[in-house]
């Protein structure tokens, strides 16, 4: 993507391992993980190697708790910010992310060059009132 001029590369929710509530604990990682097997390590290395901003969904482990998170790494490979999914999904009778994950509490906006990005993950998109919070922070819908 960077070879074609991309400045921002986004990977999907839980791109490391397979998605599944029961699997979240085994795939959880610290945001400062740097190994090639961790999502954060892959994102940071790709950002640094290609001079782009990267993000992707990982299961974050911090203080003995788990979040569905989207860390953002700048072109130097350093962590810029992190978004923790606010609206955890629930499929009645099948699975509920809140069985193992904590919900995030805040919007997260950041800059990629001259473009302001507002983070949201999966089920968050079903709550337009939540997304409207990004307007006053300078984020605009993408075409």
Cβ(116)–Cβ(109) below 8 Å? yes
Cβ(102)–Cβ(65) below 8 Å? yes
18 in active site: no
| 17 class by beta-carbon count within 10 Å (0-12 exposed, 13-18 middle, 19+ buried) | middle
Of the residues 29, 40, 60, 85, only one is catalytic, namely 85
Give φ, ψ of 110 to 5 degrees: -150, 165
13 in active site: yes
Give φ, ψ of 133 to 5 degrees: -65, -20
Cβ-proximal residues to 74 (8 Å cutoff; 6+ apart), any chain = 47, 53, 80
122 in active site: yes
List the catalytic residues: 13, 85, 122
């Amino acid at each position: 993507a960077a070879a074609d001029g991309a400045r921002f590369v986004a990977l999907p929710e839980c791109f490391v391992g397979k998605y599944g509530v029961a699997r979240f604990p085994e795939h959880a990682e610290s945001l400062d993980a740097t190994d090639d097997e961790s999502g954060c390590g892959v994102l940071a290395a790709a950002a640094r190697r290609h001079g782009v901003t990267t993000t992707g969904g990982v299961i974050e482990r911090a203080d003995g708790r788990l979040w569905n998170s989207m860390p953002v790494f700048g072109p130097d490979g350093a962590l810029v910010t992190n978004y923790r999914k606010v609206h955890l999904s629930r499929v009645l009778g099948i699975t509920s992310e809140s069985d193992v994950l904590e919900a995030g509490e805040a919007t997260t906006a950041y800059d990629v060059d001259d473009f302001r990005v507002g983070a949201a993950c999966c089920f968050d998109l079903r709550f337009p009132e939540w997304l409207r919070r990004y307007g006053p922070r300078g984020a605009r819908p993408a075409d």
